[in-house]
């Protein structure tokens, strides 16, 4: 079993003992999503895949927060923000914008990318390094800016 999955299970047990209802609910959402993927694909998730799932869950929360705030539903946006904070606890430390820009420069140099048609090559190198440690939308914008 992966160490990240163990960490999530330990946090779930701790939340149960501490009677932290909101935290427990979010941790159960994470566990349910991981279990769903394992059952659907008949695999045991490794830490890299779990990070990708958690990253996706954070992205979903960001999108929901934007939509709720646009609709004036701040109470629902606050719930999503709280869930996002809990999910981010299990992600590695986020990269700074400068660190991401440096990774993009290295990838462009490594691939010899000359224009927008080479964006896929650059993203292919950058994505595994940034996964779970930065917003891929921001990475994509940086790549576009440097290639155009």
pLDDT digits (tens, 9 = 90+) for 89-129: 998 888 888 888 888 888 888 888 887 888 888 888 888 88
Q: For residues 49 and 36, what is the distance between their CA atoms, to the nearest angstrom?
A: 13
Q: Does one domain contain both 82 and 140?
A: no
CATH number, domain with residue 142: 1.10.10.410
Are residues 110 and 44 located together in one domain of the fold? Answer: no
How many Cα neighbours within 13 Å face the side chain of 61?
21
Contacts of 81 (CB under 8 A, 6+ apart): 61, 65
CATH number assigned to the domain comprising residue 68: 1.10.1510.10
My answer on whether 83 and 103 are in the same domain is no
Does residue 15 sit in the same domain as residue 84? yes
35 and 70 housed in the same domain: yes
Q: What is the pTM of this model?
A: 0.78
Residue numbers of the domain that contains 106: 97-147
Q: Is pLDDT above 70 for 1? A: no
Residue pair 145/117 in contact (Cβ under 8 Å)? The answer is: no
Q: What is the pLDDT of residues 33-74, one digit of tens each?
A: 999 999 999 999 998 899 889 989 999 999 999 999 999 999
> 107 and 70 share a domain?
no
Distance CA 70, CA 125 (A): 35
Q: What DSSP line would sit under 62-116, residue for residue?
A: HHHHHHHHHTT-HHHHHHHHHHHHHHHTTSPPPPPHHHHHHHHHHHHHHHT--SG
- Model confidence at 144, pLDDT cuts 50, 70, 90, reads confident
Would you state the structure tokens that stand for residue 27, as one six-digit string? 């941790």
User: Which pLDDT belongs to residue 12?
Assistant: 96
Tell me, yes or no, whether 26 and 83 share the same domain: yes
Q: Are residues 71 and 47 in the same domain?
A: yes
């Amino acid at each position: 079993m992966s160490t990240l999955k163990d960490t999530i299970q330990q946090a779930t047990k701790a939340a149960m003992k501490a009677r932290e209802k909101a935290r427990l609910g979010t941790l159960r959402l994470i566990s349910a999503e991981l279990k769903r993927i394992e059952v659907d694909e008949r695999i045991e998730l490794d830490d890299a895949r779990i990070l990708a799932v958690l990253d996706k869950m954070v992205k979903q929360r960001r999108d929901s927060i934007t939509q709720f705030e646009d609709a004036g539903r701040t109470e629902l946006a606050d719930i999503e923000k709280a869930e996002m904070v809990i999910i981010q606890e299990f992600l590695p430390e986020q990269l700074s914008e400068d660190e991401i820009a440096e990774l993009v420069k290295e990838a462009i140099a490594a691939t010899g990318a000359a224009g927008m048609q080479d964006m896929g090559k650059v993203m292919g190198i950058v994505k595994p390094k940034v996964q779970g440690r930065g917003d891929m939308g921001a990475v994509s914008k940086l790549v576009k800016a440097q290639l155009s």
